Structure 1
Amino acid sequence: MFKRPQSLLLLSSALSHSARISPSSSSSSSQWFSILRAAVAAADLQLGKRVHALIVTSGDGPDQFLTNNLIAMYSKCGSLLSARRLFDKMPGRDLVTWNSILAAYAHAAGSDVENVQEGLSLFRRLRESVVFTSRLTLAPVLKMCLISGHLWVSEAVHGYAVKIGLEWNELVSGALVNIYSKFGRIKAARVLFDGMMERDVVLWNTMLKAYVETGLEEEGLSFFSAFHRSGLHPDDVSVRSVLNWIDKVDSYECKRHMEQVQAYATKLFLYDTKSECSDIYSWNKTLSEYVKAGENWAAIDCFRNMVRSKVEIDTVTLVVILSTVAGVNDLELGKQIHGLALKSRFDSVVSVANSLINMYSRARSAYSSRKVFNRMKEVDLISLNSMISCCAQSGLGEEAVNLFIGLLHDGLRPDQFTIASILRACSSLEEGLSASKQIHVHAIKSGIVADSFVSTALIDVYSRSGNMEDAEVVLGNELEFNLASWNAMMFGYIMCNDSHKALELMRIMHEGGHSTDAISLTTAAKAASSLVALGPGPGKQIHAHAIKTGFVSDLCVNSGILEMYIKCGDMGSAHTVFNDIPAPDGVAWTTMISGCVENGDEGRSLSIYHRMRQSGVDPDEYTLATLVKASSCLTALAPGKQIHADVIKLDFSSDPFVATSLVDMYAKCGNIEDAYHLFRKMDVRNVALWNAMLVGLAQHGNAKEALSLFRVMKTKNIEPDRVTFIGVLSACSHSGLVSEAFEYFSKMQKDYGVEPEMEHYFCLVDALGRAGLFQEAEKLIASMPFEASASMYRALLCACRVMLVESKGKPKLENG
C-alpha cells in the first residue's frame, strides 16, 4: 500500500472535520495554519489553493491571521498574482499583512522588473498610511532596492531607516552593507559594517568579496586578517574568495599571503593540497542537492561557479547538470555544456551521452539527439529508450520502429519505458495498429503489460485508431485504478465521437471515490462541449466539481470549461469563467475571441482583443485570422485595417490562413482593389485564398475578372471546390451568362465531382430570373433534389418585379 504524503493526510483530516469546526474559532485557525505550513514546506500550490477554497466554503471568510498566512503561502509557492488579489480584497490590513505582500514581491522580483517597481510602489503606499514599519518591512524592500539596480532608491530607504531608528538593526544594516558592496560603494559599506554591534560570518564574507571584486588588494588582505582575529573563523567561501583573487595577482607579497591563507585553510581542513577529489565531490553533492530540491537555476549558478573556479568537472557533474538543463528546457545552455563535454572528452561516456540525448530530446531537437546517438561507440537500453522516445515525440515513427527492431536483434530486453515509447510512435503510422498489436503480445509475454505506463500507452494507441473494444479490454484487465489510463480512455471515447461514455467514466471515478486531476476535468469538459444538444447542464456539473476540488484555478481546466460554455452557446457563463482567469494565456484569449465570433458577437471580440493587447499577450495567426473574420462579418473596414497593421507588425503577412482572411475581409467590405493587391502578393496554391478573391469579385459586380481568375486557376492546376463554383455561377448570374452558367454547373459535377448544393441552384435560379426566363426558373426549382428555400423565391420575385411581371411573383411569395 502506498503512503500518502503528510500534506495530503492533513488536508484529508481538515476535510473530514471542516463541518464540525467553527471557522472563526482559534482551533480552526490553528488547523488551517498547520496545513498551510505543510503546503509551503512542500511548495505545493495546489494544496494551498484547496485549503484556501475550504476556508472560504467552510463558513465565514478567513480571519486576519489566516489571510496573512495565505498571502505568505501564495508568495512562497510562486503565485504572486493570487497573493496580490487576496491583499487587495482585505478590508483591514495590519503591519503583518503589508510585510507579507512586500515579501511576496521581493520573492518574485528576480523574475520580473515590474514586480520590483510594483513592490516599491506598495512600500510608498505603506509609508503614507498610519501603519508603523519594522525591520521585517525593510528587509524585503531593501532586497528590491538591490534588484532595481538604482543606488538612489537604496539611499532613500537608508535615509528612512535612519529616520525611524532602524539603521543599526542587524537585519537592516546587514542588507545595506550588501547593497553598497554590490554597487561598489565600499567606503559606505565599511562605515556601516564597522558601526554594527554584531557581525556574522556571512556579513564578513560579503565585505571581503567586495574588496576582492574591486581589486583593493591591501585592504582585502588586511580585512581577512581582521576577520581571523575577530574570533569568528573564515569558512570555505572566505578562503576561496581570497585564493581565487590572489592567484590572479602576480606579486611576491600576494604570493606570500596566498601561502599563509592556504596554510590556514589546510589547518581548518578547508583546503586539501594533495587531492582534488574531495573538492569535486563536494561540488557534485551541492549540485545534486539543488536538483533534488527542484532549484534548477540555483544548480545552474552553482555549475557556473564551478567553471569559474576552474574545478575539474567529471562525468557525474555533466550528468547532473544536463538533467537540470533538460528540466528548464534551455537549448543554448545545453549546447554550451555539450561543448564542455567534448572538450573534456567525456562525451563518449555512455551516461553522459544518454544525458545529452535526453536534453536534446526535451528541447525538441531530434537532429542533435540523433547526432549524439550515432557517435556513441557503445549504447545501452537507456540510450535506445531515450532515442525511441525522442523519435516518437518528434513524429518520426518509422525511425523509432527501426530502432526498436535493432534493439531486439541486439538481444536487449525492452522494459516498460521502451514499450510505452514505441507504442506512442506506432500511433502516428498508417500501419500502426497492426504493429501495436504485435507489441501488445510482446508485452504480455514479457510480463510487463500490467505496468501503468504500458497499459496507458496501449489504451492511447487503440483509441487513436478507433479500436475502442481493445482499449476497453486493456482497461478492464488493470489490477488497480490508474488515473492516467482512465484519462486516456476518456479522451479515446471523445475521439471516437462517444462523449457520453467519456462522461460515464468520469461519473464512475467520482462515485468510486477516485481522485481526478486537471487532465480528467479538462477532458470531461471537452466531452461536455461535444454534447451541445444537452446544453450546458453536464458542463456546469464539471465546472462545480472543478471548483470543489480546487482545480478551477488551473489554466488548462479553465480553458476547457470556457470552450465548453462557448460551444453550448452560454456566453454569459463563458465571460464569467474568462474574467476569473488570473492571467489568461494566448489560448484562452483566442478561445474567447473566436467564441464571440461563433456566437454572433463580433463587436465584443474586437474589444476583447484590445484587452488582450493591453495585457501584453501577443496573438498568433489563428487569433488574427479570427479577428479579421469578425471585421468581415461586421463589414467594418477600419478595425480590419488596424488588425492588418498588427499582422504586418507581428510578421504574419505570409501566413496563408491570415492572408485568406484579409483578402476575404477587404472584398466583403467592398475594397476590391486592396483585396486584389494582397492576393497578387501571395504566391500560394491554397484554394481557399483563390476562392476568397473569386467570390469577392463576383459579389461586387466584377464578373469578367472573376471568370478570368477561374481560368487562371485551371492553368495553375488548382483544384476548384464547392465554394469556387458558387463564385463562378454568381459571376455568370451577374453578367447575364445563362448558358455559361449551366455549362459550368454541368462541368462541376462531371469534371470535378462536386455535387450541387442549394447555393449552386440558387445562383442558377438567379441567373434565369435576371434574364427573364421565369418558366425555366420554375422548372429548375421543381427539378431540384431538395425543397427550395425562401431566399430562392425572394430572388425570383425580385427579378419578376424588375421585369414588371408581378403576377408571377405573387404566387411564389405566398408559397415562400
Structure 2
Amino acid sequence: MRNSAPRMLARTTTATAYVADLLENCINNKAHIAGKILHAHILRIGAFADTFLANRLVELYSKCGQLVSARLVFDRMPQRNIYSCNAMLSCYCKENQLEDAHELFVRMLERNSVSWNTMISALVRNGYERRSLELYQMMRLGGFEPTRFTLASVLSACGGLGERMCGKECHGVAIKLGLDTNVYVGNASLGMYAKCGMVGDAVKAFWDLTEPNEISFTALMGGLVEADRIEEAFDMFKLMHRNGIRIDSVSLSSVLGVCAKGGSGDFGAISDDDCELHIVPGKQIHGLTVKLGFENNLHLSNSLLDMYAKNGDMDSAEMAFANLSEVSVVSWNIMIGGYGQKDKKEKAMQYMEWMQSSGFEPDDVTHINMLVACIKCGDVKTARMIFDRLEHQSLSSWNALLSGYTQNGYHRETVNLFGEMQFQNVQPDRTTLAILLSSCAALGHLETGRQAHARLIKPGFHTDTYVGSGLIGMYLKCGRVAGAKHVFNGVHLLDTVCWNSMIAGLSFNSMDGEAFSIFIEMLRKGTLPTEFSYATVLSCCAKLSSLSQGKPVHGLIVKDGYTDDVFVGSALVDMYSKCGNICEARQFFNLMPFKNTVTWNEMLHGYAQNGCGDEAVCVYRQMIQSGARPDDITFVAVLTACSHSGLVDPGITIFNSMQKKHGVAPLPDHYTCIIDSLGRAGRFNELESIINKMPYKDDPVVWEVLLSSCRVHSNVSLARRAADELFRLDQKNSAPYVLLANMYASLGRWDDANDVRSVMIEQQVLKDPGFSWVEQEKSDVRRLG
C-alpha cells in the first residue's frame, strides 16, 4: 500500500505528458475536432486543474481561430499563470479583438517580454502605430529588454509615422543588443529609413545586412524610387537578379513601380545568355513576368497596366488590358486614370461606361480619375458636377477638386471650396493645406494662409518639407519675409524645392542680395541646384547688375551641364545684358541649341537696354524668319530699342505690323514706345494722330513720356495738354510738375515755372529722391566660381 501512491503519481504524470504530446500535435496541425476530443478526455480524467494542460487548450483553440472556446477554457481555469494570460492575449490579438486584449493586458499581475511583444505587434498590425510606440516606451521604462520581434514591430511603426528620431533610437538599441544584423530587424530598419526619406541611411542599413533577401531589395528599391534615384533602384534589381535572390511577384511589382516613375524608354537590354539584367525598362520586365509564369497574377498585371499608363503608352496598356485573364475595379481605374492624364476625357468616359456594363461598380477612385480627366482638359465645371454627385466625398476627392481649381487659376474658388470642406467637418491633410497655401499665395490672402498655418501646427505638418515650401512661398508672396524665414528654419529636411521657394520669394520681394546668399548657403549644405535654382539666382544677379556674382554662377551651370536648358540659357542672356556685357550675351545666345520666345525676347531686351537698335531690329527679323512667334513682350523690346536708337521708321513699320501680321493687339507699353520714338524725333504731328486714336488715354506713363519729349523740343502747348491729363489722373504725382517747371525754366519763363512750383507746394506734392549704389566684391562667390 505504501508504494501505491508513487505509482499512481507516476502513472498520472505519464498520462499528462502523453495528453500534452497529443495536444501539441493537434496545435501544430490545427486539428480542432481531435483537440475537442482531448479536451473532453481531460475533463473526464479530472486533469483540467493542470494549468499546463489548460494553457495548451487555450493555445489550441487560439491556433484554430476558436476565440469563444479559448475564452471559456481561460475563464474556467482554477489557476492561471503568466503563460495562461499570454496564450489568451495572443488569441485576442490574433482575432483583432484589441479592446479585450488591452483589458486583459492591463489586468495582468505579471508581464514578460512575450506579453509586451504580443500587444505591440497587434497594435502595429492594426494601424495603431502611435499607441504601439507609447507601449514600447512603457516597456523600456519597466526594464524589459526588447526582442527582435519587438524591434521589428516598433521600427515598422516609426516608418509608418515618419518618426525619424524614434526610429534611429530604436535602431541604436538594436545595434547595442546585437540584433541589427538579424534579417527581420535589419529589414525593418531599412524600411523605416526608406519610408522616412532617409535614403542614405537605408542604403547603409542594406549593406549592413549579412544576407539580404527579396524583402530587403524590394524595400530599398521603394525608398530609392521615392527619392527619385531611379537609376540606383534599377541597379538594385539587377544586383538582386545577379545574386540569385528569388524574384517573386512583389519584387516584380516593385520594379514596375520604378519603371512607372522613371519612364520606360530604351534603357538597355536583357542578355538571354547569362540572364543578367543590365538596365531594366518596363517592357522587358513585362517579358520577364511572362517568362516566370506570373502573367495570371492580378496584382502584378495591374502593376503592368499602371506602368504603361504612367508612361503614357496607352496602346500597350490597351493590349495588356485585353489579355488580362482576370480584371478588377483597379484594372478599370488604371485605364480610366491613364486616359485622363493624357487629356482624353471622352476615352476615359468610354471606359467608365464599359466598366459599368461589365458589371463593375465604380468606386471613389473611378470618380476621382474622371474628375481629374475633366480637370486636365480644363473642364472644371464638369469636374464640380462629378464631385457633387459623389455619394461619399472622400478626402482624395476634395483634394482632387481643390487641385483642379488651383491648376486652372481659380484661386478664389479654391479658398471657397476649402471653406465648404471645413463646414462639412472634413479634416484636411498635408496635400489639402499645400494646395490652399498655393492659392493664398496667388491671391495674396495672408490671413487665410495664416489660418492654414495654424491648422498645420497641431499635426506637425508645418515642419514637413512639402508643406514647408508652400508656407514659405505664401509668406513671401504676401511680403512677410520674417514669417517665411521662421518656417524655413523650422523645416527638418530642406530639399531643393524649399531652397528654391526661399530664393525666388526673396527675389520677388526685391531682396536679391539676400536671395543670392541663400543660394550660396544651399551649395554649402550640399543641396544640388536645379534649372529653376540657376534661372532664379541669375535673375537676382541681373537685377543687382552684378557680373562678379553672375560669372561664377555661369561656371557652376557649365559644370552641372545645364547650359543647354532653354530657361537657364535665357536667364544667362538676361544677366549678361543687364550687366552691360552685351557681347557675352550675344555669344552665348548664338551657342544655344534651342531658343523659345523668351530667349529671343531677352536678347532683344539686352540690345534695347544697351542702346543697340540696329542689332535689335536684326535679331527681331531673324526671330520672324526662324518661325518663332513674337508676343507683346517681343514688340515692347524691339520698339524700345528703336526708340532709344532713333530708328523711327523701322519702329513705325514694326508697330503697324503687330496687329496685321502677327495678331498682337498694341497695349499701353507699345503706344508708350512709339510715342517716345516720335517725340524724340520731334515728329509731333504723327504723334498727336496716334494719341487721338489710341484707346489707353488713362495711362499716365504715356502722358509722362509725351511731356518729357515736349520738354526736349520746347513744345509748350502739347506739354501743357500732357500735364493737364496727368493732373487729371493723379494730382499727387510729382513728375508732371517737375517736368513742366523745368521746361518753363529752360525757356526762361520763370513766372510760369514759379506758378507750377507754387501749385506743387499747395497740393503738398513731394519729389521722389533718387538713389545709386556701388557693387562690393563677394570673395566667397569668386571662390565658388
Indicate the residue corresponding to 2:307 in structure 1: 390
Indicate the residue corresponding to 1:493 in structure 2: 405
| 1:425 Cα deviation from its structure 2 partner | 0.8
| 1:620 Cα deviation from its structure 2 partner | 1.0
2:234 to 328, 331, 335: 331
Q: Which runs of 5+ in 1 are unaligned?
A: 11-33, 53-64, 66-71, 85-99, 109-138, 144-170, 176-201, 207-236, 238-282, 307-316
TM-score by length of 1: 0.60
1:540 to 434, 444, 450: 450
1:553 to 441, 456, 463: 463
Matches within 5 A, 1:416-815: 416-430=329-343, 432-446=344-358, 448-468=360-380, 470-472=382-384, 474-476=386-388, 478-480=390-392, 482-532=394-444, 535-787=445-697, 789-806=699-716, 808-815=718-725
Q: Is this contact kept in 2: 1:698–1:706, CA < 8 A? A: yes
1:769 maps to amino acid: G
Is the partner of 2:341 in helix, strand or coil?
coil
2: distance between equivalents of 1:477 and 1:6? 37
2: distance between equivalents of 1:787 and 1:429? 46
Q: What is the RMSD computed on CA atoms of the aligned residues?
A: 4.7
Q: Is this contact kept in 2: 1:450–1:478, CA < 8 A? A: no
2: distance between equivalents of 1:649 and 1:779? 55
Note closer, same or farther for the CA distance 1:4–1:327 as it changes in structure 2 (3 Å cut): farther
1: distance between equivalents of 2:355 and 2:562? 47
Note closer, same or farther for the CA distance 1:320–1:442 as it changes in structure 2 (3 Å cut): farther
Is the partner of 2:491 in helix, strand or coil?
coil
Matches within 5 A, 1:87-236: none
| 1:297 Cα deviation from its structure 2 partner | 6.4
| 1:338 Cα deviation from its structure 2 partner | 3.5
| 1:609 Cα deviation from its structure 2 partner | 1.8
Note closer, same or farther for the CA distance 1:39–1:805 as it changes in structure 2 (3 Å cut): farther
| 1:728 Cα deviation from its structure 2 partner | 2.6
| 1:418 Cα deviation from its structure 2 partner | 0.9
Is the partner of 2:428 in helix, strand or coil?
coil
1:523 maps to amino acid: I
2:527 maps to amino acid: V
TM-score by length of 2: 0.62
Q: Is this contact kept in 2: 1:703–1:734, CA < 8 A? A: yes
Note closer, same or farther for the CA distance 1:417–1:297 as it changes in structure 2 (3 Å cut): farther
Is the partner of 1:787 in helix, strand or coil?
coil
Identity, % of aligned positions: 27
1: distance between equivalents of 2:506 and 2:718? 43
Note closer, same or farther for the CA distance 1:386–1:670 as it changes in structure 2 (3 Å cut): same
1:372 correspondence with 2:289: no
Indicate the residue corresponding to 1:305 in structure 2: 211
Q: Is this contact kept in 1: 2:171–2:189, CA < 8 A? A: no
CA displacement 1:407-445 (0-9 Å, x = unmatched)? 4xx6x4421221221122112334x11112122223334
Note closer, same or farther for the CA distance 1:655–1:573 as it changes in structure 2 (3 Å cut): same
2:400 maps to amino acid: A
1: distance between equivalents of 2:203 and 2:644? 68
1: distance between equivalents of 2:525 and 2:190? 34
Q: Is this contact kept in 2: 1:652–1:658, CA < 8 A? A: yes
2: distance between equivalents of 1:351 and 1:724? 55
Q: Is this contact kept in 2: 1:75–1:104, CA < 8 A? A: no
| 1:627 Cα deviation from its structure 2 partner | 1.3
2: distance between equivalents of 1:803 and 1:488? 61
2: distance between equivalents of 1:334 and 1:720? 49
Q: Is this contact kept in 2: 1:74–1:82, CA < 8 A? A: no
1: distance between equivalents of 2:627 and 2:191? 60
Indicate the residue corresponding to 1:415 in structure 2: 328
2: distance between equivalents of 1:338 and 1:297? 18
Note closer, same or farther for the CA distance 1:790–1:507 as it changes in structure 2 (3 Å cut): closer
1: distance between equivalents of 2:97 and 2:672? 68
CA displacement 1:202-251 (0-9 Å, x = unmatched)? 99xx9xxxxxxxxxxxxxxxxxxxxxxxxxxxxxx9xxxxxxxxxxxxxx
| 1:290 Cα deviation from its structure 2 partner | 8.4
1: distance between equivalents of 2:437 and 2:478? 11
2:399 maps to amino acid: N
1:666 maps to amino acid: Y
| 1:39 Cα deviation from its structure 2 partner | 12
2: distance between equivalents of 1:557 and 1:104? 24
Note closer, same or farther for the CA distance 1:334–1:749 as it changes in structure 2 (3 Å cut): same
Q: Which runs of 5+ in 2 are unaligned?
A: 1-94, 103-115, 135-140, 142-150, 195-201, 226-232, 267-280, 727-785
1:333 maps to amino acid: M
1: distance between equivalents of 2:537 and 2:639? 29
| 1:475 Cα deviation from its structure 2 partner | 4.1
Note closer, same or farther for the CA distance 1:356–1:730 as it changes in structure 2 (3 Å cut): closer
Note closer, same or farther for the CA distance 1:39–1:768 as it changes in structure 2 (3 Å cut): farther
2: distance between equivalents of 1:356 and 1:770? 68
CA displacement 1:562-617 (0-9 Å, x = unmatched)? 22223333333223222222332110111111112223322321222233223222
| 1:382 Cα deviation from its structure 2 partner | 3.6
Q: Is this contact kept in 2: 1:433–1:462, CA < 8 A? A: yes
| Bigger radius of gyration among the two | 2
Note closer, same or farther for the CA distance 1:785–1:5 as it changes in structure 2 (3 Å cut): farther
Is the partner of 2:458 in helix, strand or coil?
helix
1: distance between equivalents of 2:97 and 2:622? 69
Is the partner of 1:333 in helix, strand or coil?
helix
| 1:450 Cα deviation from its structure 2 partner | 4.7
